[in-house]
Amino acid sequence: MRRFNIPHNFELITIIELYAQWIREGKLVVNSDWNRDLGVKFTVQDPCNIARKSGSNKIVDDLRFVIKTVVGEENFIDTVPSHDNNFCCGGGGGALQAGFPDQRRAFGKIKFNQIMATKASYVIAPCHNCHGQIEDIGEHFGGEYHVVHLWTIIALAMGMLAETERAYLGPDLAEFGL
């Protein structure tokens, strides 16, 4: 719309930005108390479309704000590099479904090594393709981390994660809060 100067009266915003806004406004009530004693460590994957292609770090800054709020700042280990300099996981743009797993995994080894360097137990992947790719390269290369959706951890922090929504949690969190 901007490119072709098409008039419009709406703003495109991601759910991540809305989570951050709602937390700041007190509309989404979460905290990290649940993880204070557990000390479970989390890292995050910055999806390409919101990190490198958006032209701004606002969304990934909001992503980190949300994560630190729900897991505790001391339990968040950022990747190096991060934000708009982060590495692609190799699963986007149709690669996850394209039928070339050896090539996809070879490319994803860079991301795998980056995740392993954090020593985090969980990788939060807000993108569905990233989730699938990071889970696959973890299984393929022997990573001992779990991949979770952002909403899973938000719901856990709210004390309302249902028993049926815990498929991606490891044994350390699978029954937490039930």
Question: What CATH number does the domain containing 137 carry?
Answer: 3.40.50
Q: Where does the pLDDT of residue 15 fall: very low under 50, low under 70, confident under 90, or very high at 90 and above?
A: very high
Does some domain include residue 81? yes
pLDDT in tens, 106-148: 999 999 999 999 999 999 998 888 999 999 999 999 999 999 9
Does the pLDDT of residue 47 top 90, yes or no? no
Is position 2 within any domain?
no
Residue type, 76: F
Q: In this predicted structure, what is the pLDDT of residue 57?
A: 85
Residue 169 CB contacts under 8 Å (≥ 6 apart), including other chains: 146, 148, 152, 156, 176
Chain segment 75-118, per-residue pLDDT in tens: 999 999 988 888 888 888 778 788 889 999 999 999 999 999 99
Residue 19 lies in a domain: no
pLDDT(54) > 80: no
- Torsion (CA) 25, 158, 169, 113 in degrees, nearest 10: 30
Is residue 15 a part of any domain in this protein?
no
Nearest-angstrom CA–CA distance, 47 and 145: 18
Decide if 140 is inside a domain.
yes
Highest mean pLDDT among 4-8, 21-25, 89-93: 21-25
Q: Which two tokens stand for residue 96?
A: 């996850």
Distance CA 162, CA 175 (A): 10
Number of folded domains that form the chain: 1
CA-CA distance, 82 to 156, in Å (whole number)?
Answer: 25
State the residue range of the domain holding 108: 31-165
Burial class (CB in 10 A: 0-12, 13-18, 19+), 142: exposed
Q: What pTM was computed for the model?
A: 0.90
Query: Does residue 144 fall inside a structural domain?
Result: yes
Angle among Cα 112, 118, 119 to the nearest 5 degrees reads 95
* 68 within some domain: yes
The one-letter code for the residue type at 49 is N
Alpha helices in the chain (DSSP H): 15-25, 48-51, 58-71, 101-118, 128-141, 150-157
Residue 97 is given by DSSP the state G
Does residue 4 sit within a domain?
no
